[in-house]
């Protein structure tokens, strides 16, 4: 039992560090990818290939003057970014990062907590993220911040419904709400994307909206709302908001990979592992590497979309959410139900 706790603590700390490092280098990747897509070079001065750029950005953020507006509600103003960051870091514990690992003669799952209601937990925590934006925007006492906060909350509520409905279809076909089991089920067979293509599309679009990323970056929309909810923020508080966005992007990429792309599984993994003669730990490591490959692809995908599409207009955003995605998601549930009934999986 002691080993169990030690392992979990190590895993949590490692997860914390990995999330931060990935988020750090996501900021760098974002700048570099946007540059490449716009036929520029991007940051290349700090360190080799500009690899120390995130560090320089971090130092810049810390060195900046800390401004708290006189008319703001100071407690809430400080609470906003803290909440955004905390909730961003909380969702990672549910993700199964790999298969089984053998340590000190015991077998552990490479997952901090395998809740049997994992999907619900993920939803709850990611929804909490909007409180950081709302509280921050409201406490700033600035009309642009408030507009951003209102947009953020409206957008989150609208797209969470479609997202939830898309997930219901997934839960129906997998029959479990535990992320560990969802990942494990895609072990030998096909990934869930094959069974739930429409559900995946809806989930992906909603993930963009939940992340406040382009083309759904309404709450920030620097051209209309001069930054939206973080207009009044400066120094590291602003840094936390921006950083939370990248951590969220990492976590939601991981969630998408777990839900629809087999998590740490990859095609013919058993055959490959046998052919290479890998031990359990090595096979798990390979699976984790594959999973990170998939996650990085989705992070790249998020950026790819951001530098391709322009921002939605607010009413178009609402129309897409309520009039297209929710009916589609309900249709998806229906289709899933009918297909399961025809295959005799419903009793």
Partner 1 sequence: MQPLTNRSKAVLQKEMTFAEKLYLPAIINGMIITFKHMFKKAATIQYPEQKREFSPIYRGHHVLKRDDEGAERCTACGLCAVSCPAEAITMQAAERKEGEEKLYREEKYAATYEINMLRCIFCGLCEDACPKEAIFLTDRLVPTEFERNDFVFGKDKLVEKVDDRVDVTKRQTQNVIDFKQNKKYSHNK
Name the residues that contact partner 1, by CB under 8 A: 33, 35-41, 304-305, 307-309
Three-state DSSP class for 101? strand
Query: Could you give the count of Cα atoms lying within 13 Å of 118 in the half-sphere of its Cβ?
Result: 25
Residues 162 and 206 sit within 8 Å (Cβ to Cβ): yes
Please state the closest distance from residue 202 (CB atom) to partner 1, in A.
12
Please state the closest distance from residue 43 (CB atom) to partner 1, in A.
12
* Spatial distance between the Cα atoms of 341 and 347, rounded to a whole number of angstroms: 8
Over the range 156-165, which residues count as b (16 or more CB within 10 Å of their CB) and which as e?
A: bebbbebbbb
Closer residue to partner 1 in complex, CB, 30/232: 30
Closer residue to partner 1 in complex, CB, 74/323: 323
Three-state DSSP class for 311? coil
Please give the structure tokens belonging to residue 180.
């560990």
Please state the closest distance from residue 297 (CB atom) to partner 1, in A.
13
How far apart are the two ends of the chain, measured CA to CA in Å? Answer: 40
Closer residue to partner 1 in complex, CB, 300/314: 300
Please state the closest distance from residue 31 (CB atom) to partner 1, in A.
13
* Spatial distance between the Cα atoms of 184 and 125, rounded to a whole number of angstroms: 23
Please state the closest distance from residue 232 (CB atom) to partner 1, in A.
31
Closer residue to partner 1 in complex, CB, 38/223: 38
Closer residue to partner 1 in complex, CB, 38/343: 38
């Amino acid at each position: 039992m002691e080993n169990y706790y030690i392992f979990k603590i190590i895993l949590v700390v490692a997860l914390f560090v990995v999330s931060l490092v990935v988020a750090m280098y996501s900021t760098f990747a974002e700048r570099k990818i946007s540059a490449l897509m716009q036929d520029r070079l991007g940051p290349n001065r700090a360190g080799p290939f500009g690899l120390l750029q995130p560090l320089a950005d971090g130092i810049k953020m810390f060195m900046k003057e800390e401004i708290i507006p006189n008319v703001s509600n100071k407690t809430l103003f400080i609470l906003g970014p803290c909440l955004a960051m905390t909730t961003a870091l909380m969702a990672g514990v549910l993700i199964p990062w790999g298969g089984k690992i053998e340590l000190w003669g015991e077998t552990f799952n490479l997952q901090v907590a395998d809740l049997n209601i994992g999907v619900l937990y993920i939803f709850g925590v990611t929804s909490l993220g909007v409180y950081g934006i709302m509280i921050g925007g409201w406490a700033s006492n600035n009309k642009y911040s408030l507009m951003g906060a209102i947009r953020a909350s409206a957008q989150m509520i609208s797209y969470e419904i479609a997202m939830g409905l898309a997930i219901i279809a997934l839960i129906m076909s997998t029959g479990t709400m535990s992320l560990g089991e969802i990942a494990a089920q895609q072990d030998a067979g096909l990934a869930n994307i094959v069974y739930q293509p429409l559900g995946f599309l809806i989930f992906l679009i909603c993930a963009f909206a939940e992340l406040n990323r382009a083309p759904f970056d309404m709450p920030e929309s620097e051209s209309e709302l001069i930054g939206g909810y973080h207009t009044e923020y400066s120094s590291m508080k602003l840094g936390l908001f921006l950083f939370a966005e990248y951590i969220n992007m990492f976590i939601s990429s991981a969630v998408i990979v777990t839900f629809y792309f087999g998590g740490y599984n990859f095609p013919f993994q058993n055959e490959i592992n046998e052919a290479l003669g890998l031990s359990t730990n090595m096979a798990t490591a390979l699976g984790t590497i594959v999973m990170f490959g998939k996650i990085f692809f989705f992070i790249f995908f998020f950026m790819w979309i951001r530098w391709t599409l322009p921002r939605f207009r607010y009413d178009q955003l609402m129309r897409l959410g309520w009039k297209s995605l929710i009916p589609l998601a309900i249709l998806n549930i229906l289709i899933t139900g009918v297909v399961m009934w025809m295959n005799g999986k419903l009793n």
